Each structure stands twice: as structure tokens, then as C-alpha cells.
Amino acid sequence: MSHGLNIDGLTVVASEKKILQGVSLHVAPGECLAVVGPNGAGKSTLLRAALGLSRGCTGTVTWNDEAVRSLDGRKRAEALAWLPQRTSIREILPVLDFVKAARFRFAESRVAATNAALSALAVVHAEALSERILTTLSGGEFQRVMMATLIAQDAQIFLLDEPANHLDPARQVEFYRMISEQWQSGRSVVCVTHDINLLSQLAPSGDANKVRVLGLREGSPAFEMRLDDARLREALEAVFSMHLEVAEVAGRSYFLPSSRPL
């Protein structure tokens, strides 16, 4: 058995246009994969296909050798948790009830579900929001609550699409460190991001060799290498069509736009 998430020869076509073409990857239990690329590269489509939500797909997407599309709701929720790039919730619903709903796959009492939801909110430092109504939350508060739903769901792999969108710089770093903690606890993570400098927050200092980076360009894989690979700067330059400089700060590498012309 090939444990984890396996994508083989994935091609996605929409309106006669190939959004993804020939993507193959494997995410083993406990691995962290960052997916980067410019707008329109197919990053969000890749996550939707991994969840079995994209139409017009060819190729295979499996979880522990079972086709993801064939998994029932509870089994899929046990395997995969998704934080989409854009979420619109308009229900007049308390935060605690919303997070508790993520526990639907468990046969448990209401007390157990409540305790699990409160614990998840505490992990993301949002326990004070438990009685708030979803529609009253700020963008940053709502994003933390969404992360709490993933933790409450307790899936084996988190699929995160631009998880720090709309957050201020301090909250972005905090959010990525929370993702890192989930990965270090043994969970698999696939994280899509435009901000290549937030990647450094996924791994503790000295552990960049444990994070894989997949670059997409125009729907096709452009590269795949470790975060500490010396060739990463050149690979990112090719994907984003810009020159970059590398700065080392406190043992982490940061990529800065260069004024040098291409």
C-alpha cells in the first residue's frame, strides 16, 4: 500500500482550457509540501482536485490507494481537511457551534464535541471568540476560527490555500507557525502560497530540508526541491519571472525582489 496522498498524471480541463497538465506528486504521512507559483498557475485547482471536487479531471487521485472520489463523507473528512482561499459564511451561528460541526465524522456525545471544539479554539488562541457570531468576526478572527475547524476535524492531511490572506504581517507569521506546529505534531500539510517568504516559517530553524517546495507555472510542474536547496532561488526566479536576492536572517532564508532587469 502507498500510504498518503498520491496524484498521478493529473490534468484538469475547464472551458476547453487546460488548468493543470501532467501533475504527479506524493505526500507521505507527516510530510510538508508548499506549492508556489504566480496567479493562474493552477495551485487552487490542484487542491480542489486532491479533494475530488474538480470536474474535467483525468489521471488519478488516491488516499492510501483508494480513489478520493470514492470515499464517503466521513472517510474523506478523516483523511483530508481543506482551508479554501475564499470562504463566505453568512449564517447567524455562534463560533463554538460552527467549530463543533467539524466533528461530524465522530460518533461522540455533545459534551465530547464541545470539549474538542474548545480545545481547537485554544490551539489557535481564539477561545475568547467561542460565543461570538460568525458574521461579526474580523477577517483575521475568522481565519483563526477556520483553522480551528480543521484542528477539530482532526484529519490526517491539511490542504491550505493561501491561509494567511488578509492578515497583517504579525498574524501571518503567527498563522504559519501554527501550521508548522500541526505538521510537527505528525500531520501532513500541503500549503499553497504566493508569499515565498512565509515558507521559512513552516520549518523551525535548521529544518528547512524537511519542507518540499513544488513550483507550478501555467498549470505544469516547473520544479520540486527542498526549501534549503541552493538552487531554489533560481527556480523561483524562473517561475515568477523576476530576479531575487537571498537574505539570511536568524538561520532562515528570505527572497527579496531585485531591481536587476530580467
pLDDT tens sequence across 142-188: 999 999 999 999 999 999 999 987 788 888 888 999 999 999 999 99
In angstroms, the Cα distances linking 226 to 15, 80, 210 are 34, 23, 7
The pLDDT, as a whole number, for residue 25 is: 94
Would 239 be classed as within a structural domain?
yes
Query: Containing domain of residue 45, as a range?
Result: 5-257
Specify whether the CB–CB gap between 83 and 163 falls below 8 A: yes
pLDDT at 128 > cutoff 80: yes
* 26 is a domain residue: yes
Q: Indicate whether this model's pTM tops 0.85.
A: yes
**Which DSSP letter does residue 156 get?**
S
Query: Is residue 252 over pLDDT 90?
Result: no
**Total domains in the fold of the chain:** 1
pLDDT value, residue 257 = 84
In the prediction, which pLDDT does 238 show? 94
Average of per-residue pLDDT across 119-139: 94
Is the pLDDT at 255 greater than 90? The verdict is no
State the DSSP code for 155: -
pLDDT at 223 over 90: yes
Question: Can you tell me the mean pLDDT for 206-214?
Answer: 88
Q: Among 131-135, 158-162, 169-173, 224-228, which stretch is predicted with the lowest mean pLDDT? A: 169-173
High-pLDDT (> 70) share of the chain, %: 97
Q: Is the model's pLDDT at 206 over the cut of 60?
A: yes
Q: Is residue 262 part of a domain?
A: no
Stretch (H or E) spanning 150 = helix 139-153
Across 20-24, 30-34, 228-232, 249-253, least confident range: 249-253
115: in domain:
yes
262 pLDDT higher than 80:
no
Q: What is the pLDDT of residues 62-94, one digit of tens each?
A: 999 999 999 999 999 999 999 998 776 777 899
The answer on pLDDT for 228 being more than 80 is: yes
- Residue 65, in any domain of the structure: yes
User: 68 lies in a domain?
Assistant: yes
In a domain, 72, yes or no: yes
Question: Is 111 within a domain?
Answer: yes
Residue where the block lists cell 467539524: 102
Q: In CATH, what number is assigned to the domain containing residue 190? A: 3.40.50.300
Bigger pLDDT: 68 vs 54: 68
**Strands of the chain, DSSP E:** 5-14, 17-27, 32-36, 57-63, 66-67, 80-83, 157-161, 188-193, 211-217, 220-226, 244-249, 252-257
pLDDT for residue 248: 84
Q: Give the confidence band of 251 by pLDDT, cuts at 50, 70, 90.
A: confident
Helix, strand, coil in percent for the chain, rounding step 5: 35, 30, 35
